[in-house]
Amino acid sequence: MGARVRMADPADPRLAELRDLNRAESRPDRPGGSGLVVAEGRLIVERLLASRYPVRLVAGTAARLDELAAGPGLPAGATVAEVDRATISAVVGFDFHRGVLATADRAPEHSVAEVLAGARTLLVLEGVGDHENIGALFRNAAGLGVDGVLFGAACADPLYRRSVRVSMGHVLRVPFAHLPGGTTTWQRGLAGLRERGFRVVAMTPGESSAPLWEAMAAERVALVVGAEGPGLTEHAMRACEVRARIPMAAGADSLNVATAAAVGLYERARTLAGPMGQPRVT
Amino acid sequence: MGARVRMADPADPRLAELRDLNRAESRPDRPGGSGLVVAEGRLIVERLLASRYPVRLVAGTAARLDELAAGPGLPAGATVAEVDRATISAVVGFDFHRGVLATADRAPEHSVAEVLAGARTLLVLEGVGDHENIGALFRNAAGLGVDGVLFGAACADPLYRRSVRVSMGHVLRVPFAHLPGGTTTWQRGLAGLRERGFRVVAMTPGESSAPLWEAMAAERVALVVGAEGPGLTEHAMRACEVRARIPMAAGADSLNVATAAAVGLYERARTLAGPMGQPRVT
């Protein structure tokens, strides 16, 4: 277990990486893809401790550190700082009431092959540039049984602080990888999924799409969603085998991308469970 | 059509109700339930103009006002202020780039009987205290064919500015009413729904709940959801006929309440559409 050190001085250099946390997301020294992983609050810190990301620092109140020590245990090799709420608030720059936070280095990303190994249900994202949506997509993916997430082009960083928080830490659990290529070439990776036996389903509104429930009965499914507003590119839709839509009421807008994905993934889980006399997919 | 008046002075008293919009939600002179209805951006302003709420003021750039005049028309009896972006930004207190906003008085709320009339699918909320979740619930309800929303106790104000915005204006379209009673008595309204032929379905995780897809095949369904975390009260669950759950993966959290409702409402829409040989509910 890491040695636990009391720190009472907000200027303590060992706490430097927590300084001005609200501004950390826009720091020029932390460009997209290279920032530290930050976990806030007990639940997400526990998921970080259980993850493959090398923990650097855990800073928390005595009570929170005791809980972690009694639960998953505190990481060896990391700095474990016992701080009171006033100190941690002064360091991070806002009233930090969650009692514990932690940082970790990024680990090398999984390969696409690693994400695919054994997977039956994948979620593929294109053009989802909003960190909150990325987080919500991972939360929904984890809840609804997705085996892995693949990124096409133009998506936000899943390990950004806000994505981690909104995902409830599930970005640290659900394997993900980036398909290679740029905005008009990454879609070749979808052909690769089809070659490996995945039915690649584009979620897209419109009359040329089948109702969602007609699309999911396959041994392996990759559900492809795009950003709200623009939706999937034509390149992406052409690389998919099936187009599926959520039937929408007249006069309504499309759903938020994370909500739409949750509906699609629920339909996938329902199909796999084989309810009401429908053939169970095996 | 309302007479269009150019206003270039941010101190113009005719624009007073837009002043410091970001602070307006916490103004002591606008307690919950009595504030003005505020619509921001073209889409939501159009929904306000098409609603039953009496419009007081429309303030926008010349281009945006022209669009409204050519589309739904500008409301007679309301002040129509032509302003440039700098003026409107100075009034509301932040850079307002959407080009148009509008205010309306609240209209008397629908009665429960009005919301029920002709409805086949209702959404019932308990303890949803977050304005963003209320907005998202209305957006999802509108998209997935809900005929009306009923509020149990302890819910946030659906006409709060933030709820209106997150709902994409659908709180102005989907009829809603509050069931009478307090935190432990409002649930009698659920018994009233059952007497009127609604299957009242509690969405709640846990082994005693049936999978969602077994719960929705009824002529009339009222789907009842509670806040994330605490979920529905025992009082509410006891007043429901059926408990239904979204099957969740191991190690996952529950879904966000608006996301869970979207999944439930999708399942309801799917059941009504009667796909794949299942009997169409009539």
Instruction: Report the C-alpha gap between B262 and A65 in whole angstroms.
Output: 38
Q: Judge whether residue A254 has pLDDT over 90.
A: no
Residue with tokens 């492809």: A224
**Rounded mean pLDDT, A27-31:** 51
**Rounded mean pLDDT, A125-136:** 96
Residue range A95-128, pLDDT digits in tens: 988 999 999 999 999 999 999 999 999 999 999 9
Q: Judge whether residue B225 has pLDDT over 60.
A: yes
Q: For CATH 3.40.1280.10, list the domain ranges present in chain A.
A: 112-273
Q: Judge whether residue B25 has pLDDT over 90.
A: no
- Kindly indicate the confidence band of residue A22, based on its pLDDT and cuts at 50, 70 and 90: confident
Q: Judge whether residue A279 has pLDDT over 60.
A: no
Here the ipTM equals 0.92
Q: Which CATH superfamily is domain A4-104 in?
A: Ribosomal protein L30/S12 (3.30.1330.30)
Instruction: Report the C-alpha gap between B158 and B171 in whole angstroms.
Output: 7
Q: How many Å lie between the alpha carbon of B117 and the closest alpha carbon of chain A?
A: 19
CB contact under 8 A, B263 and A258: no
E strands in chain B:
4-6, 37-40, 55-60, 79-82, 100-104, 121-126, 148-151, 176-178, 198-203, 210-211, 220-226, 242-245
Average confidence score pLDDT of chain A: 91
Residue with tokens 């039915």: A199
- Kindly indicate the confidence band of residue B280, based on its pLDDT and cuts at 50, 70 and 90: very low
**Rounded mean pLDDT, A257-273:** 96
* A275: contact with B, CB 8 A cutoff: yes
**Rounded mean pLDDT, A155-164:** 93
Distances (CA, A) of A128 to A38, A132, A150, A227, A258: 21, 10, 12, 5, 10
CATH of A112-273, one of 3.40.1280.10, 3.40.50.970, 3.40.50.2300, 3.30.1360.230: 3.40.1280.10
Taking the alpha carbons of A37, A43, A49, A55 in that order, is the dihedral positive or negative? positive
- Kindly indicate the confidence band of residue A280, based on its pLDDT and cuts at 50, 70 and 90: very low
Q: pLDDT over 70 for what percent of chain B?
A: 92
Strand-pairing partners, residue B244, are: B203, B210
* Chain A residues whose beta carbon lies within 8 Å of the beta carbon of residue B246: 143-144, 266
Residue with tokens 């429309």: B58
Of A140, A142, A248, the CB nearest to B259: A140
Residue range B162-217, pLDDT digits in tens: 999 999 999 999 999 999 999 999 999 999 999 999 999 999 998 889 999 999 99
**Rounded mean pLDDT, A47-62:** 95
Average confidence score pLDDT of chain B: 91
Q: Judge whether residue B62 has pLDDT over 50.
A: yes
Instruction: Report the C-alpha gap between B142 and B239 in whole angstroms.
Output: 26
**Rounded mean pLDDT, B117-142:** 97
Q: Which residues contact B209 (CB under 8 A, 6 or more apart)?
A: B202, B243, B244, B245
pLDDT of residue B60: 96
**Rounded mean pLDDT, B113-137:** 97
* Chain A residues whose beta carbon lies within 8 Å of the beta carbon of residue B277: 277
Residue range A182-199, pLDDT digits in tens: 999 999 999 999 999 999
Q: What's the token pair of residue A136?
A: 């919500």
Side-by-side strand order, sheet with B198-203 = B176-178, B148-151, B121-126, B220-226, B198-203, B242-245, B210-211
Of B136, B140, B276, the CB nearest to A213: B276
Instruction: Report the C-alpha gap between B177 and B157 in whole angstroms.
Output: 11
Q: What's the token pair of residue B80?
A: 């129509």
* Chain A residues whose beta carbon lies within 8 Å of the beta carbon of residue B147: none
Residue type, A71: G
Side-by-side strand order, sheet with B55-60 = B4-6, B79-82, B55-60, B100-104, B37-40
Q: How many Å lie between the alpha carbon of B17 and the closest alpha carbon of chain A?
A: 29
CB contact under 8 A, A213 and B275: yes
pLDDT of residue A35: 80
pLDDT of residue A252: 84
Please give the backbone phi and psi of residue A234, each rounded to the nearest 5 degrees, phi first: -60, -40
In this structure, are residues B200 and B194 in contact, taking their beta carbons and an 8 Å threshold? yes
* Angle, CA of B142, B148 and B151, to the nearest 5°: 110
- Kindly indicate the confidence band of residue A52, based on its pLDDT and cuts at 50, 70 and 90: very high
132-191 in chain A: CB under 8 A from chain B: 136, 139-140, 142-145, 168, 170, 173
Say how many C-beta atoms besides its own lie within 10 A of residue B9's C-beta.
12
CB contact under 8 A, A259 and B259: yes
pLDDT of residue B207: 85
Distances (CA, A) of B180 to B12, B184, B187, B189: 42, 11, 9, 7
Q: Judge whether residue A275 has pLDDT over 90.
A: no
Q: Judge whether residue B218 has pLDDT over 60.
A: yes
DSSP per-residue letters across B97-156: -S-EEEEEPPPPPPPHHHHHTT-SEEEEEES---HHHHHHHHHHHHHTT--EEEE-SS--
Q: For CATH 3.30.1330.30, list the domain ranges present in chain A.
A: 4-104
- Kindly indicate the confidence band of residue A72, based on its pLDDT and cuts at 50, 70 and 90: confident
Residue range A172-185, pLDDT digits in tens: 999 999 999 999 99
Q: Judge whether residue B282 has pLDDT over 50.
A: no
pLDDT of residue A282: 44
CB-neighbour burial class of residue A26 (10 A; exposed 0-12, middle 13-18, buried 19+): exposed
Residue of B nearest to A254 (CA): B143
Q: Judge whether residue B11 has pLDDT over 60.
A: yes
Q: Could you tell me which residue, A27 or A155, shows the higher pLDDT?
A: A155
Q: Judge whether residue A27 has pLDDT over 90.
A: no
**Rounded mean pLDDT, B40-60:** 95
Q: Judge whether residue B275 has pLDDT over 80.
A: no
In this structure, are residues B267 and B213 in contact, taking their beta carbons and an 8 Å threshold? yes
Instruction: Report the C-alpha gap between A160 and A135 in whole angstroms.
Output: 9
Q: Judge whether residue B28 has pLDDT over 50.
A: no
- Kindly indicate the confidence band of residue A253, based on its pLDDT and cuts at 50, 70 and 90: confident
Q: How many Å lie between the alpha carbon of B34 and the closest alpha carbon of chain A?
A: 27
Left, alpha or beta for A127 (phi > 0: left; psi -120 to 50: alpha)? Answer: left
In this structure, are residues A174 and A144 in contact, taking their beta carbons and an 8 Å threshold? no
- Residue B140's nearest CA partner among B277, B38, B260 is B260
* A259: contact with B, CB 8 A cutoff: yes
Q: pLDDT over 70 for what percent of chain A?
A: 92
CB contact under 8 A, B142 and A249: yes
